[in-house]
Structure 1
Amino acid sequence: YAPIDFGALRFCEARVWSFFNKVNSEMGKYVSYAQGKSTDPMPLYIKPDRKLSAHDIQEMMRDHYEGTELDWRFDVGAGPFNSPYRWSPLTFEVDSVEYCNERPIATQQTGFSFVAQMRSWLPDPVGGILWFGVDDAAQTVYYPFYCGHTEVPHEMAPGNGDLLNFSWTSAFWIHNWVSNMVYSRYSDMSLDMKKVQSRLEEQFMTAQPAVEQQVLALYEKSQPEAVHFLTRYTNSLVNEGVAEWKKLGEYLMVKYIDGVIKKEENGQFKRNEYGRPAFPSRPGYSNEYYRKIVEQTGDKYKVQPIEN
């Protein structure tokens, strides 16, 4: 039993609507339901306009309502770098009037998420995959954990850090470390993050057919060996992926330290003729954000002529 109120619509149903809206061209007419302005229900389920892959679903998990009426990257709350995040709580009051933040599919509070891929025509230990990732779904890497998996990788094992103890070998902590840098300069850093994310996940998807063909041949000879092979395979991906994510964090720290942007050339940070770091860019903020500052502060920061 879940009575429909504003919170149920805006904080829960809107997420479902956004999923549907990405893959069905008729869902736009239900946006008022997602906004909590109407209780006329949207369909309980829909047929996508096209066949969806596991990777399509992964990308949908990363949604922040971009390109819809609920897109919140361009109001004052988004800050100077168009953040699709707001810190909790979900609601707040101004002059005794209650307002809300959005609760998109991808949020900073996510501990883990997964996409289930089920293929009945394959042996159970091979046919089922949980594409599993830790932290914010928009900034995670989805790793293929097969149904026959028998050993938790060290990077995700209990005891390797916890909520009060940071660990440089913990997938949770490395991803949170990177995410919390990206949040501070989202429009810039998210582009760098997505390059690494896409590269890793494309590698996993590309390798999948050949790996599974090898496993199926092994499965006919020895099921335990096939399961062991897949377990070691996935754990190696996690190990390598977390190492790459740590390198990403180091890269972001160097590139954006103290609000500047280091210049790059051919995939390397640029140096001057003396071998020193090239003078960085100082892009400041967008014209739109500067205008908001002036509108709010008037002449407080206006450069005034000095009369002698």
Structure 2
Amino acid sequence: MNRPPVLLHALLAAALATAAATAQACTSIVVTRGASRDGSVMVTYSADAPFMPRLLRIAGGTHAPGTMVDVRGWEDNEDRGKIPQAERTYTVVGLVNEHQLSLGETTTGGRPELKNRKGQLDYDALMVLVLQRAKTAREAITLVDSLCREYGFGSSGETFSIADKNEAWIMELIGKGPDVKGIVWVAAKVPDGCITAHANLSRITTFPLNDPDNWLYSPDVVTFAIEKGYYKTDSGKPFNYRDAYHPSQSASVRRACAGRVWSIYRRSAPSQNFSDAYYRGAENVEDYPLFIKPDQQLGLHDVMGLMRDHFEGTPYDMTKGPDAGPYCSPMRLRDLAFKVDGKNYMWERPISTQQSGFVIVNQSRQNLPDAVGGLTWFTPDEASTSCFTPFYCAIDALPAPYTTGTYDKFSWESAWWVTNLVSNLTYDRWSRVYPDVQKAQADQEAALLKMQPVIEETAAKLAAADPALAQSFLTNYSVSTAEAVFRRWQDLAHSILTRNVDGYTKDANGHPKAAGYSEEWLRHVVESRPDQFKLPETKKPVETDH
């Protein structure tokens, strides 16, 4: 049946033109079946940029010969023309398709001279086309290569997370220069029982050239580097993808990028005592392993928690110290780098950051029908102050609050704006407000996770007997659940503002109490300006203005 394409898919929305420079900041985690508690293959993706994402959808279908499709990414909404449509495309919800193929990404930059600005495919448009046309991770890797050879790759270096219900891969790619179509690339299969993570820094170094079950690469990945002078055959060293195509490993790059990988690893495998040395820019120290085995298998909730990290429990805990302000906020205003008295400094760059446009956790599961096994847990804004909501890959409708709104105008009807309102009411008063947000988040997600096995058992039975009914069932559940989360977050915004007003926090009876400041913060203030706030000694009690 030839179905008209729905101009919808998760995360493809008009972005500000100014987002292009900052959208290259994302975090992705890959969890294999053997490393997950329920046998899921999981991929996370945090898109950290000031733009207005919408949860949208592309319907699959068959297409007549000669049909063309628009090439348009979500980052700058630039129209990149048209390419021939595939004869058969698959439905995409979030970054998961109907066959449970799942994608994530981070931009790694690499050698700027290798960017082909005339390439028709940005990384985001490329991801969408691949999800519409591939069934498995290996097919997706092959398709990334062939599409880039045919139409040209217009972005800088990228790392893709590519997973299906059986296996997971990490693929690194970069263009071949101005006006040159094609890419050089390498892809590594994540060993079952292991996890990996990438955060805007190339992760693949040396690799075997004779292990096609676990390593795939472009035929010219080495020879192209030799031709360009990026690799010397007489160096006595094996070919290293990152050294050739992503040579910058400066202290600031490590601080901004490697720290997120370190924090994922140290939380997933504390027994391995991963050093912070590489992240902190120490010389002559090794990077973190490409793959690690977690101490315990990770549950879905554990992975969500990793996406909420601010380095809590480490010396770099962003809720501690004078930079956290009087109410222990992990928010640091951009830019990351700054100067004081001519010296260079840099804030920590956490996984959970206020400029996130959306965060997803995708699940692909072998033990369930595709319509049930593939889903994306989606939240607009950042993960630490919001609630993940499930959207199954088979659904044929979406909740209005997740598809409406514009970046330039607040709306009570937009999930992105309401979630951002809760976040922004929390940031400056974190220690006072965040416990209420965390409770709402924990209660809501616990209820959803408790319901998930029941919903999926029912949906699996329906899928075997009546696929259309299963689709309707999962659509109704996904839509109603998202609408309930949206309403709760509207109520939470009302509650936060009502309870915390004019510097007071109301108690259980509605009586306003002065919030004050912690002694630690007051000590910082006094030490910075000891004479300004000091009162003269007096024998008479000092009256204060209440």
When normalised by structure 2's length, the TM-score is 0.52
Please point out which of 293, 297, 308 is paired with 2:529.
Answer: 297
Tell which structure's C-alpha radius of gyration is larger. Answer: 2
1:33 paired residue among 271, 275, 278: 278
Partner amino acid, structure 2, of 1:11: A
Residue number in structure 1 paired with 2:307: 61
Q: How far, CA to CA, are the matches of 2:527 and 2:337 in structure 1?
A: 26
Distance in 2 between residues matched to 1:193 and 1:49, nearest whole Å: 29
Q: Does 1:95 align with 2:327?
A: no
Alignment partner, residue 19 of structure 1: 264
Report the counterpart of residue 107 of structure 1 in structure 2.
Answer: 353
Amino acid at match of 1:304: P
Q: In the alignment, what sits opposite 2:251?
A: 6
Superposed CA deviations along residues 217-248 of structure 1, whole A, max 9, x for unmatched, are 22122112211211111111111101101111
Higher relative contact order (Cα pairs below 8 Å, separated by 6+ residues): 2
Q: Are the counterparts in 1 of residues 412 and 418 from structure 2 also a CA contact under 8 Å?
A: yes
Q: 2:294 aligns with which of 33, 36, 48?
A: 48
Return the letter of the residue paired with 2:264: F
1:275-294 equivalence runs, <5 A:
277-278=510-511, 280-294=512-526
Q: Please give the secondary structure, in 2, of the residue aligned with 1:33.
A: coil
Check whether the contact 1:31–1:69 (CA below 8 A) recurs between aligned residues.
no
Q: 1:305 to 1:27 in 2, by over 3 A?
A: same
The gaps in structure 1 that reach 5 residues or longer are 265-269, 271-276
> What is the CA–CA distance in structure 2 between the aligned matches of 1:210 and 1:183, rounded to whole Å?
36
Taking the aligned partners of 2:318 and 2:305, their CA distance within structure 1 comes to 19
Aligned-pair CA distance for 1:305? 5.2
CA contact (8 A) 1:86 1:101 kept: yes
What whole-Å deviation, never above 9, does each CA across 1:7-34 have from its counterpart, x for those lacking one? 3211111101100110112443421112
Cα contact 1:35–1:70 (8 A) shared by 2: no
Letter in 2 for 1:58: M
Q: After TM superposition, give the deviation of residue 149 of structure 1 in Å.
A: 2.1
Aligned length: 294
* CA-based RMSD: 1.6
Residue type of the alignment partner of 2:487: A
- How far apart, CA to CA, are the structure 1 residues paired with 2:288 and 2:272? 8
Q: Identity percentage over the alignment? A: 37
Q: Which residue, 414, 419, 442 being the options, matches 1:175?
A: 419
CA contact (8 A) 2:380 2:419 kept: yes
Distance in 1 (alpha carbons) for counterparts of 2:253 and 2:290: 15
Structure 2 distance, partners of 1:45, 1:189, is: 37
Does the aligned pair in 2 maintain the 1:112–1:133 contact within 8 Å? yes
Residue identity in the other structure for 2:281? G
Q: Secondary structure at the match of 1:31?
A: coil
User: Which residue of 1 is the match for residue 493 of structure 2?
Assistant: 249
Q: Are positions 1:85 and 2:317 aligned together?
A: no
Normalising by structure 1, what TM-score? 0.91
Higher strand share: 2
> Is the 1:93–1:99 Cα contact (8 Å) retained in structure 2?
yes
Distance 2:341 2:326 in 1: 26
Give, in whole Å, the separation in 2 of the partners of 1:145 and 1:2: 36
Q: Which runs of 5+ in 2 are unaligned?
A: 1-244, 540-546
Please state which structure has a larger fraction of its residues in helix.
1
Q: In the alignment, which residue of structure 1 is the partner of 2:406?
A: 162
- 1:259: which partner in 2? 503
Please tell me whether residue 191 in structure 1 is matched to residue 435 in structure 2: yes
Do structure 1's residue 130 and structure 2's residue 362 form an aligned pair?
no
Whole-angstrom distance in 2 between the partners of 1:190 and 1:105: 17
SS at match of 1:162: coil
